[in-house]
Structure formats: C-alpha cells, structure tokens
A = this chain, B = another copy of it.
Amino acid sequence: MTGIDLLLEDGLVLTMDDSYRLFNPGAVAIDQGLIVGIGEQAELEREFEPRARFACRGRIVMPGLVNAHTHAPMSLLRGLADDLRLDVWLLGYMIPVERKFVDPDFVRLGTKLACAEMIRSGVTTFADLYYFEEEVARVTAEVGMRALCSQTVLKFPAPDATSFEDSLAACREFIVRWKGHPLIVPSVGPHAPYTCTAEILKACAELAVELDVPLHTHLAETALEVENSRRENGMPVIPYVKRQTLLEAKVLAAHCVHIDEGEMRTLLHAGAGIAHNPSSNLKLASGVAPVVKMLEVGLNVGIGTDGPASNNDLDMFEETRLAAFLAKGISGIPTALPARVALAMATRLGARALHLGDITGSLEVGKRADIILIDPSDVHSSPGFQRSPDAVYSRLVYSAHAADVTDVMVNGRWLMRNRQLLTLNQDELLRNAQEIASRIDAFLVERETSVLSKLVAIGGTTEAESFEVQVKVRLEDPEPVLAKMESPELTTIRHRHYREYDTYFVFADPEQGRLRYREDEFIDESGEVYNVRYRLTLTGPAREQEFQHAVLLSRSRFLAAATHSLRFYREYFQPGSEIEVQKDRRRWLVRYRDTEFFINLDRVDKPALHGHFLEVKSRTWSRRDAENKAQMILDILSLLGAGEAEATPSEYVELAYPGS
C-alpha cells in the first residue's frame, strides 16, 4: 500500500483522456499535488493508503476546465459598453478607459475578480493576454490558479509601455523571473498582426524561441483583418505571420475565424494551438470559426471566453455548449461536434493548445491535480440517463450550469469547497470592483456631457481652439472676382480646387455646438480627383463678435483629422440629426500687406443655393489682431470688386437649412 495525501473517492470519474475512460464509482489518488492513481474505487482502495479522504458520492469528478483565451483584468469593464460596432467599442470606450484607468492596481483587482468567477465556474487553467501581465501572474499565483500569462506587445503606446521596445524588454524580464513557476507559464503576447509591425512580430517570435516559452496572439479574428492583410501584404494572415517567423514559436492563436484549410495545415505543422471564442465572435459579429474542420485537420482547438468586456462573462459551460450548438447549426449537421468532443475542447485539447498538455487537461497519472467536482442533480439537469456512455457528456455540456460546480482543486490545493472560495474574499472583491466601476462611470459621464470631451477622448483633437475673422458675400457672377484675383496687391501662395462633402451632426442641446465631418476631394486641372482628406471640426454655438458689414470673429473651433469613418462618428456621437452640404470650392491662400488670408469662391450644390459665395478669412489669436484683420478683409473685398455685395453672417449650413 502506498501512502498518499488524499483520495477523492466514490465519484463518477471522467478522465477526459484520449480514450475517454470513465470510472463509476471511481477514485483519484493525489500526492504532493500530483495524480498518482486513477481508476475503479475498489482498485484504488487496495492500492493506496490515503492520509485524507474526500467523499464524492453523487458528484462528477473531472479535470478542471481550461479557458484558452481571455483578458482577465477586463472583468472590471464588463457591460461598460455593448451592442456597438467593434471600432466604436474599442476606440470609443475600451482604449480611452484603459488609457485612463489601467494600472497595476486595476490589473490586480480585475484579475482577482476574474479568478473568483472562473473558480466558481470550474476553470482551473486560463490563458491571459493583457498589460502589466506580471501583476496578473502574481495575483493568479496567490489565488492558486494555473495560467499562461502573456505580456502584451504592440506598436502603439500601451498603459504599461510607451514603446514596443519597452514592452519587449519588460516582457523578457517578466519571463526570466517567472519561468519554472509551478503555476504560471510566462509568455510573449504580440497583440495581433495588425497592431504589430513585421519587426515586432519577428522580435516576439525570437524572444519566445530563445526563452522557450509559448507565444499568445490574436489571428484572423475578422474578415476585415484578412482582407487588409491580403491588400497590404499580398497574402492572408497565417502565411503573413509565418513569413515573420512567428510560427517558429509555440503559438497559441486566438480566434482564427477566417482561415482556410491550407492555413489550418500550416498551423498544424507549426504545432500551434487554437482558442475558439464563440460568444465573443458572435457578439462582436466577427463570424463563426470553422472548428469542425480544424478538429478534422488535427489541430488542438481549445475554447476561450475572450475578455469579459466582450462576452460578458467567463462562463466556460456556456461557451462549451455554444461551441457544440454553433457547429451543428452552422454546418447543418446535427451530429457535428458531439458533447464529448466539445468537453474535450474545454479540457484536454485546450490544455494542449496552451502547450500545457503534459501537466493538465485530463485526469491521468503523472498530471497535476487540477480537478473539479460537479453536482449534476439540480432540476435543470435532471433526470440523468445511463444507457449511452455519452449521456454524462451530454448532461455536462447541454444542461449543466456553472453554478453546479461545487469544489475546485488546482495543483492539489482546494480553491473552492462547497461553493465557498478559499483563497479570495468575495465580498471585499465585489465592493472594490464596484468602486472602480463607479469611478469609470463618473469619468465617462463627465466625458459624455460634451461633444468636445468625447472628441478629445478618442484622441481626435487636442483641446486647442482656433478662431477666425471672416466675411461671406453672395455673388451673381464670379467671373469679375476671378479676374481681379490677378491684382498685384494680392500674392497667390497656393491655389486649390475641391469638392467638399460636409455632414453636420446636430445635437439636441445647442450648447454642444455642431460637429462637421468633411470630405475634401482635391481636383486637378483636368477635373480628376487626385487626393482626399477627411476632417472633423467642432464649432461652438456662439459667435464671438460681429464687426461692420457682417465681418465676424468666428465661433471657437476644434479641428482634428478624421481618422475613422463617418459611420464610426455617427455611432459614437449619436447626433440628434444630420445635415448634408456639398459644394464646389476654389481656394486661394494669398498674401495681402504681409498678412495671409484665405479666399474661397464657393458654389453650394446640395442643397442648391442661388449664385456663388465669396469668403475671405484669416486665423486670429487676439482681439486687436482680429480688429486689424477685419479691416483688411473689407479692403480685400473692395479690391475684388465685391465691396457692395450682399454680406451674410450665416454659415452655409444655416443658409441651406434656415433655423438649423
């Protein structure tokens, strides 16, 4: 008889090993955190002399679930912003909030909250990818869970690094410090091909190979990513990253929604693991990954929840059920991805995808004791059938809930007993999480009190205002003015011809001003468009001052390059209404008495306004300067023969839609 620390006895033991062995009544012998025996109850009774016993009667005893892809600290952002376009969600909410709030404290608290949820839903191992990943590792180790912790590297400044060189250096130090830890596998996390350069991908792969750790990244998540890769790199995502030597590392690739069979084989030959995230892929409308084909090809496909901000939970029961359901519904084949295989994805195959298949993912002698107990007797999964050997998998995948997990052990240590967390203070955690959420709420509420602060939040502009002094007059015939542009007192520095497409966002509160999205088409002499420019201008509500003959000190304006689409801004700013104005503009930058002015000769085509308009304007920084320029603008009008023309203080949008 061999002495051992603990015998889990008299349960329905699912090994989830390659041959799906199952013992009922079965037992698991554990010593020093290691599984040293597994089999029929009677057999293990004969073989081992346990110093402690744990009765599992009426319970399913199985390997802990493996959450193959998440961003644990984002548990603090769950439900912050939903039902939005991916770019609005990411650029409008996640990134600004992360920029403001993500620091080591946030990461520690978010990781604790995520660990609490994952333990309570039967997860023993997870693959994480976030900022300040060393804090994720530290908290996870304290809590006692197992994790692949991947330090994010990307081409943009991040909450924990101002450059990719910084984050790569930090990543190396993190790995060197943690490698060999009994619970944590540190690793390299190049965020995605489209957020890294080729150089960054190569450097990450080299680091992972050099230090012999996994590399965790997002690949081929959306059709757009693949389309862009084809356009920019001349090939889809997998061949592209292969060319950057990424696949020389032990890769864990999240998503792979849009890959073909050839790419699957490339990943297979590289020994890469896949994390399938069905909820996130549906919720963010990325699509449905071809997991049945991936499994056929032989890939190790695990299941992940993705970050709780895009799911919005870390429930692997829900995720596994959805993986099984979706595979059937999308293929039209009701026998696709049966329950047993779905559960293998959530355990054994997931562990292999994380390159941790030797130590966890199934109950086998020699693996670490990462074990959960499930009570299958609640009303929602009763009654239970015995006839088919698959019935127990069906029960776990199609009707069990996360709350049916009663006990959780990682590496031989109990983390939950009878649904009570042993290594976390749940009440304190909830209080602290709610406190952060309230601060984030306050930040966003403050931000969203004004269009300007929303604009600033997405990095759309600095807060610098600009003012203009300007006049606008209506002309029946532009030809005389055009002729006088040759006047020797005006030196033309630059002349351009545009078609301008303006969309004004109008808000219910007029104090918000108007936000203009302008598309300028630059037209050459033959009438061809040779360049396009997109700009945002936020115009304040009040005119500053009016001089004689409707010369204005114009409204305060905030300018920004429009780097996103009109649709993006529409969803992000949610205007009360919109107005479109199109015009043809000939524009001169001229010097008049050593001062620069813009002269615009405009024709408003949509809605069609009678005649042409002449504008003369100049930037200004002081009241005195504005008064001088107002006088010069009147002189220029006279010089152009338009001194007597009808002047208007209105903007085109107001002329086009009086009262707007």
Q: Chain A interface (Cβ within 8 Å of chain B)?
A: 76, 78-86, 89, 113, 116-117, 120-121, 223, 279, 281-288, 308, 311-315, 318, 321-322, 324-326, 328-336, 338-339, 377, 379-388, 390-391, 394-395, 398-399, 401-403, 426, 429-430, 433-434, 436-438, 440-441, 444-445, 448, 571
Contact = CB atoms under 8 A, between A and B. Distances in A.
Contacts of A399: 78-79, 308, 311-313
Contact of A329 (B283, B324, B394, B436): B283
A114 to B, nearest CB: 9
Contact of A282 (B311, B312, B329): B329
Q: Is the interface of A mostly helix, strand, loop or mixed?
A: helix
Contacts of A380: 117, 120-121, 313-315, 402
A578 B32 CA distance: 50
Given A116-B379, A403-B403, A430-B377, A333 B285 contact: yes
B433 A382 contact: yes
Nearest to A120: B379
Nearest to A404: B403
Most buried by B among A328, A385, A436: A385
Given A117-B379, A379-B430, A388-B81, A398 B283 contact: yes
A339 B117 contact: no
A382 B434 contact: yes
A224 B380 CA distance: 31
Contact of A322 (B322, B441, B448): B322
A328 B117 contact: no
Contacts of A334: 83-86, 89, 283-285
B86 A313 contact: no
A448 B89 CA distance: 54
Given A285-B333, A285-B334, A380-B315, A80 B385 contact: yes
Contact of A383 (B282, B286, B434): B434
Contacts of A326: 282
Given A79-B398, A285-B332, 7 more contacts: A82-B390, A83-B339, A85-B334, A117-B379, A283-B329, A287-B332, A385-B440
A437 B385 contact: yes
Contacts of A401: 315, 401-403
A117 B331 CA distance: 31
Contacts of A117: 379-380
Nearest to A286: B329
Given A403-B403, A445-B387, A282 B325 contact: yes
A404 to B, nearest CB: 9
A82 to B, nearest CB: 4
8 contacts: A82-B339, A113-B382, A281-B329, A284-B328, A382-B433, A383-B434, A383-B436, A386-B441
Contact of A398 (B113, B285, B313): B313
Contacts of A402: 380, 401
Given A281-B329, A283-B325, A285-B328, A82 B383 contact: no
Nearest to A113: B379
Most buried by B among A83, A286, A330: A83
Given A282-B328, A322-B322, A335-B84, A381 B288 contact: no
A118 to B, nearest CB: 9
B287 A329 contact: yes
Contacts of A314: 380
A279 B82 CA distance: 22
A426 B83 CA distance: 38
A445 B377 CA distance: 22
B384 A437 contact: yes
Most buried by B among A80, A116, A382, A395: A382
Nearest to A429: B379
Contacts of A288: 329
Nearest to A392: B79
A441 B388 CA distance: 9
Nearest to A435: B383
Contacts of A434: 382-384
A154 to B, nearest CB: 22
Nearest to A331: B285
A318 B288 CA distance: 18
Contacts of A438: 386
B335 A571 contact: yes
A434 B382 CA distance: 7
Nearest to A446: B387
A398 B311 contact: yes
A83 B383 contact: no
Contacts of A86: 334
A438 B314 CA distance: 35
Contacts of A395: 79, 312
A437 B385 CA distance: 6
A341 B402 CA distance: 26
A89 B78 CA distance: 39
Contacts of A338: 82-83
The 8 A-B pairs with the shortest beta carbon distances in the complex, nearest first, are A282-B329, A383-B437, A83-B338, A282-B325, A285-B334, A312-B398, A383-B433, A82-B394
Contacts of A312: 381, 394-395, 398-399
Given A78-B399, A116-B379, A401-B402, A441 B332 contact: no
Contacts of A285: 328-329, 331-334, 336
A426 B325 contact: no
A324 B82 CA distance: 11
Contacts of A335: 83-85, 571
Contacts of A78: 381-383, 398-399
Contacts of A325: 279, 282-283, 322
Contacts of A79: 381, 384-385, 391, 394-395, 398-399
Contacts of A384: 79, 434, 437
Nearest to A424: B379
Contacts of A379: 113, 116-117, 120, 426, 429-430
A73 to B, nearest CB: 13
A377 B391 CA distance: 34
